[in-house]
Amino acid sequence: MKSDMARKEADVIAMAASLQLVTTKVGPQRFAKTWLITSKGLTWLNEKED
């Protein structure tokens, strides 16, 4: 289940969030229930693949 993975990988998710690679923010004062990759996270992934 998704929630089991989030609990298991909580430290990794927290690190990615603190580096602004993922977020739950979807608008001003609006937050989702799921983690979403940021543009910074996409850039990081693309650079990592090179």
Nearest to 41 by CA among 24, 25, 23, 26: 23
Please state the domain extents for the chain: 2-49
| Backbone phi and psi for residue 21, each to the nearest 5 degrees, phi listed first | -90, -25
Does residue 49 have a pLDDT over 80?
no
Q: How confident is the model at residue 3 (pLDDT cuts 50, 70, 90)?
A: confident
pTM for the whole structure:
0.78
Per-residue pLDDT tens over the stretch 27-43: 999 999 988 999 999 99
Per-residue pLDDT tens over the stretch 10-26: 999 999 999 999 999 99
Map residue 17 onto helix, strand or coil. helix
Return the pLDDT at 44. Answer: 94
Does residue 48 have a pLDDT over 90?
no
Host H or E run for residue 5: helix 2-8
